[in-house]
Amino acid sequence: MSQPPQPQGEQAPVSVSLFQAFVFWLKLGFISFGGPAGQIALMHQELVERRRWISERRFLHALNYCMLLPGPEAQQLATYIGWLMHRTWGGVIAGVLFLLPSLFILIGLSWLYIAFGDVPLVAGLFYGIKPAVTAIVVQAAFRIGSRTLKNAWLWALAVASFVAIFALNLPFPLIVLGAAVLGYLGGRLLPDQFSLGGGHSGATASFGPALIDDATPTPEHARFRGSRLALLLAVGAVLWLVPMGLLTLLFGWQGTFTQMAWFFTKAALLTFGGAYAVLPYVYQGAVSHYGWLTPTQMIDGLALGETTPGPLIMVVAFVGFVGAYVQQVFGADQAFAAGALAAVLVTWFTFLPSFLFILAGGPLVESTHNELRFTAPLTAITAAVVGVIFNLALFFGYHVLWPQGFAGTFDWPSALIALAAAVALLHFKRGVIEVLAVCALIGMALQHL
């Protein structure tokens, strides 16, 4: 890749081989804790500041695009940078290695949870973790809301979405569609009120010349070509149709694996606003409609997702594992095999669209380094997501604080743990892993007493 002239005394990094990139992405997959904000910050530190593989401006430009897409933005950003550096295989390697460690870890933890969840030690851990998860979801609603709800119109959208899902029990996709339509109209009629978007524009810092610098020409493979786009769409269709067709042929359309594949394909297209935004949809389907797992198991799965590297939406692997394991799709003797296969399948169908969005849309993004347009519908969707996440927090709080329902007793220890976790997260700005660890220890102590 040709480089523009560099200031005297400073040299851009030498070219990075695909193997060197492979080693870095593998390492990142094992240390990417902290949710999307932490993962993006870690990539910025490693790729922009320390290694200087990409400049600050080009990094933020790629992030702007990923923020506009459904799906986990940190994983998509890794895919984008890997693709920009080393073509299609570079993007696939970066995106896959961002997920694989989390997938294998979650399969193991899911099995331990199902096999030993009733053991007092494990039960005590989850007794302390569940209230902390409720506080974490409240923090997510607060974090997204503080960034998005900048005027009365967006506040109204958030309240309306909460009423829609809490009181009217409307499905999450309908809420997203309604918010998008209102955002489109708002962008035309009230552009100042709906112009927030999801961008990360602003002043950029300079960390020295980068391998892919501000003035580095777009590489040949990143230039838009209609034939390449058609080929990618055809390959993506095959990668979705072949496994879906095999599942339908082997298990029927109503089979557990087939329905999981179809359900998580739809979920993959609705993850605007991050994992917390799609969790209510996953709950509606996996718990209420299909009955793959219980509300308590859903909370426990989110707790496991918070404690593993990789994107939080990998909690879908837990949902798939538990659903197939408990239903014994392959029989009692092959419960683990059924759960592991389900975890792999739902991961495939959840993340396949993310790769296609990056590989197909990347050349269009690289064709201009100006600010992306059409963010008003996404601004409205993100505002609506705040109300949906608040509903999710109420749902978790209800099942944690009244484990036997409102007719049962109020769980005061859980309430105090949740309050302490909320204070630690919101006031003292402690890390999620740190808060979960302390709450787990408190839960073990209470269970022992």
Residue 390 has pLDDT above 90, yes or no: no
Amino acid 279 reads L
Residue 197 has pLDDT above 50, yes or no: no
Average pLDDT of the segment spanning 406-421? 91
- Res 6: pLDDT: 45
Check residues 271 and 435 and name the one with the higher pLDDT. 435
Alpha-carbon distance 252 to 275, whole Å? 30
Check residues 283 and 98 and name the one with the higher pLDDT. 98
Amino acid 6 reads Q
Amino acid 313 reads I
The mean pLDDT of the chain is: 84
Tens digits of per-residue pLDDT, 132-184?
878 887 887 887 788 778 899 999 999 999 999 888 888 777 887 898 899 88
Check residues 256 and 126 and name the one with the higher pLDDT. 256
Alpha-carbon distance 137 to 143, whole Å? 10
Name the pLDDT band for 10 (thresholds 50, 70, 90). low
Domain boundaries, the chain: 18-197+226-448
Does residue 224 contact residue 363 with C-beta atoms inside 8 Å? yes
Residue 240 has pLDDT above 90, yes or no: yes
Over the Cα atoms of the chain, what is R_g?
A: 22
Residue 307 has pLDDT above 90, yes or no: no
**Locate tokens 């739902």: which residue?**
346
Does residue 25 contact residue 97 with C-beta atoms inside 8 Å? yes
Residue 18 has pLDDT above 90, yes or no: yes
DSSP characters over 385-415: HHHHHHHHHHHHHHHHH-TT-TTS---HHHH
Name the pLDDT band for 193 (thresholds 50, 70, 90). confident
Put residue 15 in one of left, alpha, beta given phi > 0 → left and psi -120 to 50 → alpha: beta
Tens digits of per-residue pLDDT, 82-120?
999 999 999 999 999 999 999 999 999 899 888 887 667
pTM of this structure: 0.73
